[in-house]
Structure 1
Amino acid sequence: MGRKNSVDHSDMRDMNLALILNTLYKDAPLSRALLAARTGLNKATVSSIVKDLLALSLVRELGIDVSSTDVGRPAINLEPNSHAGYMIGIEIGVDFISLIVVNFAIEVVSRRYESTAKLYNQQAVLDRALFLLDESCEQVRKMKRPLFGIGIGVPGLVDVTTGKLLFAPNMGWQDVPLKEMVKAKFNVPVFLANEANLAALGESQFGAGVDSNFMVYLNSDVGLGGGIVLNGNLLHGASGFAGEVGHMTVERDGRPCNCGNRGCWETVAGRQALYRRIEEAISGGQTSWITAQIDGDFKRLSIPMIVEAAKQDDPVAVAALHETGEWLGIGIASLLNVINPQRVILGGSLSAAEAFVLPVVRETINRRALRWVREKVDIVTAKHGEDAAVMGCIAILFQNVIENPRKWMQETAVSE
């Protein structure tokens, strides 16, 4: 009986640690008295918990709260300690690697972005990703603070239990034990997940979905991925693959998709679909400002180039963006009718074209979604743009630290 009570008391203390830390992250600076008022814990419990968090270096004292009206000892404000530790988020995309190092205040302290277009095989890309991670881990080691973990985002089906990338159709990768590879090399907690799911979590925690209880994130890039967040938690589905919206069939006899199906949504609403429309129009003899920019090489097409052309009222660019926006709207209208979210967030490289795409998306939704559904939804672009997935990597690491800070500090302690 004594053992059970001891376990329960320890669990309750860890829950209170998490509650205090989460409250400070959202509302700092706060005094101990304000923490007690916000959390409903008594002042003695708050003081004891804060003492633990100070000892763990997870929070720090700022100085006297001059706004306090309490009589007696002056109140001292507290906030999360930005130097408590660091987290690394890395996205291995179809043609790039993006990496950030973030402190405990969710401030980016360094970043790397590299094209992998010239790395022609899987091993070369993996070697480069491990090299960039090694550089960043060494950066954290020099700061002599804990590395709380590494989050990895990839564009494909992921078994989150084993940490294996099962299938990435737009990369041609299958059965890659990424989590095991990274954990074996760096010996820190590692999380692997689908990049669109991570981006959804990143926008939910730190971006355009902060005040939304039920949101859908869409990542329109080489492919078209999605993530669904309900009350701050990702919906994983029965097999862990929820959110593969890009592989909904929207055309019965449509174009072949890299997944093996035909007529998938991403074949008409992704970045490659936009590029294809530009290429077909110019190859068909239509006049465009883009023609001189690419000099016959359609591999030089980019979203910024197409947006710049559209700003000049280039008819090819405007028409291609509008058609892509219409197909996005068609798919989103179906999603709204099925799951009825509060907010839809558009991210990925196509979000840079929001001025031309978003009005068409909204117009299409107004024509195709049920009125009672569309009247309750916001359609917005991602706050973090192409950084949404790496911010999601940080979100999943941060959640785990917050939920059990004592355990996390013990597991990632820095040897003096």
Structure 2
Amino acid sequence: MKRLENSPRPPAELVIASTRDDGSTSRRKSEDTRVNQSFKPFSQKEIQDATSNFSQSLTIEHGGYGEVYKCQLKLVMPSTGGYGSTSRRKSEDTRVKPSFKPFSAKEIQDATNNFSQSLVIGHGGYGKVYKCQLDNWDVAVKILDDQGNQGLEEYIREMEVLQTMRHENLIHLMGTCFKFRALVYEYLPNGSLEDCLKDRPWELTWEIRTRIVCEICTALRFLHANKPEPLVHGDLKPHNVLLDANFKVKLADFGLCRYLTQGENSKAFRQTMHVSGSPGYMDPDFLETLKITPGVDVYSLGKTVVRILTGKHPPDVFREVYEAKRRGSFMDIVDPSVKHWPENVVEILTRFALRSTKPDRSRSEFMGNFHSELEKILDGIDS
């Protein structure tokens, strides 16, 4: 199966205006006609590297607004493919989703009816989520709470990742509003996997559950193979697996994600992971060492598979799953609301769930094999 990667464009010559403390700026018109880019948030490191740490030799203008530097930055086109691209479902909205854009404070206030409680469809440690319309699209607007678990760093990280990466199994970020720390996403009518498992598990047939696991694998393998830097989600759990009208997976909540090249050993990072991470789904070895590897996500996937397979929370049922494997009685653990789940599929899911939670440097490799097995099963259903 062909995997598509981020395709870097040729470096474009840009000007970077460094503003004074009073925030005033000079607006300059780009002369580069090769690229008509959507808004893109650049990281502090990208700007420092491009300007050689604000070297005076690159200054081309200065005044009351600050300095302007001429330099080069790579403009990366959003990734649109990845592992396991699936066929279009009949009832999917076939309109082209809009490019990322910054929304004004007024647009957000008007769309949410000044943050009306009647439009709230979700809330948690991060803040609240409102269902509304923007640009004639049904959207979900997540407003981060200043007192919540997710701070400015997590907000910026999620914005940077989702604005530059596109995949059918990643949630589509349509825009942001910095004033309210708002993130505007496509609206997904089936909510989270956790919502479905808790409130209407009978809708999730064994075929749908198996496909959900397969599509989570697809999303993770896409992130782990990202170029030039592999990415680890860091907080995979059923709450962060969203489902569209056809129960197609849209992996969400990238506030804790990390590139593999990042060394995060600070006390602040450790505290963030302990506060924001999800007990029961987060790799205990990672919490102890803070060593970031794709295996962190594979561990969380194993626990998520247990939730999908049994309908119960992993800490409450993991011993039962282990005993079922030991006895070879795999069907004893299956969610009773699921009918006719083939025993061979249950066995494949169970063995993966148990192996993925063991300390093992080859977790990513056997996730790839597991993914291939699921794809073969689903190909047999679709044929």
Q: Report the TM-score range of the alignment, normalised by the length of the smaller protein.
A: under 0.3
| TM-score normalised per structure 1 | 0.23
| TM-score normalised per structure 2 | 0.25
**Higher helix share goes to which structure?**
1
Structure number with greater CO (CA < 8 Å, separation at least 6) is 1
Larger CA Rg, structure 1 vs 2: 1
